[in-house]
Chains A and B, each alone.
Chain A
Amino acid sequence: MSAACLDIRSLSAVLPNGQRVLRSVSLSVQPGEVRALVGESGAGKTMIGKAVLGVLPPSVRIAEGDMLLEGEDLGQLQPKARRTLIGARTALIPQDPLTALNPSRRIGPQMTDRLVRILGWSDERADNRIRQLLDEVQIRDPERVLKSYPHELSGGMRQRVLIAAAFAAEPRLIVADEPTTALDVTVQKQILRLIAQLQRDHGTAILFVTHDLGVVAKISQRVSVLYAGKVVEEAETAALFAAPQHPYTRALMAATPRYTDPLASLRPVDDAVLAGLAAEIAAADQAWRRPHG
């Protein structure tokens, strides 16, 4: 079997007070696959994405585990080599397009800077490439958009820009961190469809982070369910929906009858399920503390 695009092996991350925010997370993304990572807010989804991309907050320390990007162990690389590798092979579609663009720089240079400055493309090649991608994300007036400042564009337009920029350098892996959560409901579907379309056209592997099982069903081939920094279940997406194994997964599904229901996520998970989860996590931490604490 060829190397996975991304292979996370037993990754634990701790806060300065010793508390674990990621609990021995293992998960892999195969080349060209969309891998969903689903969990409630605060489960640690963003943290996993940031760990992979090497942008964890300074207060969060990786305590164990390996991350392999196309077979290369990121932990073994010097910082500069790691940064360059991540810059060349990965991209991020961020959660909030309103804060992910620099307010004082025009869109054009923000889209081309990686191609020119990191990958060493000529200005002209980068410009052509960006225009092609803007066309793919159905932006009809690239001239205006490239000259604009972020505040002159709507949230949906900015997210299209960020998606185009992410795909522009043909990365092997894209981390999409709740790319539709911050958008209007009507725009959410268009953006989701766009990501799926570009993913198919370019064959890019995506680690797709979401709290929404409806989105999982639509876009992913496989899925990991995260609770309190621990993967409680992992399965083919179809299999998960057909026969969820873990009580937490079943509870999440029960709480999400239709993904269009905005109140769905407010329905609480059953007390008994929570008690079971708490015990499971306590046991995992107990086992972890023996060699590490």
Chain B
Amino acid sequence: MLLQRFLIRLLTMAITLFGVAVVVFVVIRVAPGDPIAMMLPPGASDADIARLRALYGLDKTIVQQFFIWLGGVVRGDFGTSISLRQDVLGLVFNRLPATLELATVALLMAVAIGGSAAILGARERGTAVEAGIDIASGTALSIPDFLWGLVLILLFGVLIPVFDISGRVSPQLDLPFVTQFYLVESMLRLRFDLTWDLLKHMLMPAVALALPLAAIIAQLLKQSLKEVLDLDYVVLARVKGFSETQVILREALKNAALPTLTLVGVQFTFLIGGTVIVERLFSYEGLGNMAIDAVINRDLPLIQGIVLVFALLFVLINLAVDMMYALLNPRLRHG
């Protein structure tokens, strides 16, 4: 029964990814702009252009191209980047860890900020504190992540320059890393000086990405906490002598978090989408930054590879959310 559900799930994921691959493949080929024309100097002959086309397989029909590409993907070969002349998979995996670390830090920030605001607002419901939280979250939500990025650059990069606003790590530092998960590895190696440097670089892009999500969490979790706080079992806990804070943390939070969790999952995929522009703003060397270069250069294999990896991430996040939901909800666990 459980295995069956798992297999169905796996099949849906595969179909989703296939759909994404088809759509991207077609759209970037139909959109204007020729990668070959951008590679060659202005005076190149028609013969040169034709030769390069054939080299990258662009002389075949879209359907033929797709199945050639798909055949490669199935074997783990995502092709060669036209602009960087390197293996696409290698490029993507080289950049992915930076984006994952940034997105994870942003998510943790959003949960911490939004969660605390929700708990405080629920505890102080009906007071000026709650009203203040509503105003703050309304503001945070009405400004998109890349505008927060600009605001932060102006504030802390230009007016009060206390944080690094560019790059992933200070260039003069010697990096002992063997993986691209710099943040994780710096902590494992107990090189907290490097951890600190990485975090200082990450802080502003992460805050820019986190603020809108924090606001959503604050609003949604607060609302659902307030609903739970009127329920009978919460009243009973108050009669037992528990304080309002204890009541929220012990009785209400877990149940109130369930409806919030699904939405946070969806919003987290938006956050990852947001890394594309925010990484660019802060010259952060992640996958999103590379995606913009790939689009500018009409680097078709690289765009395909990056989009597919993003799609895979989204699908995995949805899966993780479903599993956490089941884990938190005893009814589903035993049903």
A119 nearest in chain B by CB position: B241
List A contacts of B331 (CB < 8 A).
103, 149, 151
**Quick one: which of A177-232 are within 8 Å of B by CB?**
none
Interface size classification for chain B: 20 to 34
**Quick one: which of B311-335 are within 8 Å of A by CB?**
328-331, 334
* A87 in contact with B241 given A104-B329, A104-B330, A152-B334 (CB within 8 Å): yes
- Cβ of A92 and Cβ of B241 under 8 Å apart? no
A139 contacts the other chain (CB 8 A)? no
C-alpha gap A103/B256 in the complex (Å): 11
- Cβ of A92 and Cβ of B236 under 8 Å apart? yes
List A contacts of B230 (CB < 8 A).
57
B255 contacts the other chain (CB 8 A)? yes
List B contacts of A53 (CB < 8 A).
238-239
A19 contacts the other chain (CB 8 A)? no
* Secondary structure class of chain B's binding surface, majority of residues: helix
A75 contacts the other chain (CB 8 A)? no
List A contacts of B231 (CB < 8 A).
99
**Quick one: which of B230-272 are within 8 Å of A by CB?**
230-233, 235-243, 246, 250-251, 254-255
- Cβ of A54 and Cβ of B233 under 8 Å apart? no
C-alpha gap A105/B235 in the complex (Å): 15
- Cβ of A103 and Cβ of B241 under 8 Å apart? no
A114 contacts the other chain (CB 8 A)? yes
List A contacts of B235 (CB < 8 A).
50, 55, 92, 94
Which of B236, B242, B243, B246 is the one whose CB lies under 8 Å from A94? Answer: B236
A130 contacts the other chain (CB 8 A)? no
C-alpha gap A55/B231 in the complex (Å): 12
* Chain A min CB distance to B146 (Å): 38
A84 contacts the other chain (CB 8 A)? yes
Pick the most buried of B125, B235, B241: most chain A CB atoms within 10 A of its CB: B241
List B contacts of A91 (CB < 8 A).
239-240
A58 contacts the other chain (CB 8 A)? yes
* A104 in contact with B236 given A83-B243, A87-B242, A118-B241 (CB within 8 Å): no
C-alpha gap A99/B251 in the complex (Å): 13
- Cβ of B240 and Cβ of A55 under 8 Å apart? no
- Cβ of B242 and Cβ of A102 under 8 Å apart? no
Besides A95-B232, A114-B241, 14 other A-B contacts (C-beta < 8 A): A50-B235, A53-B238, A86-B241, A87-B239, A92-B236, A94-B232, A94-B235, A100-B236, A102-B255, A103-B255, A103-B330, A113-B237, A113-B240, A151-B331
7 A-B pairs with the lowest CB-CB distances in the bound complex, closest first: A87-B241, A114-B240, A118-B241, A99-B232, A100-B232, A149-B330, A102-B233
19 sample A-B contacts, Cβ–Cβ < 8 Å, listed by A number: A83-B238, A84-B241, A87-B239, A87-B241, A87-B242, A91-B240, A94-B232, A94-B236, A96-B232, A99-B231, A99-B233, A100-B232, A103-B331, A104-B328, A104-B329, A113-B242, A113-B250, A114-B240, A152-B334
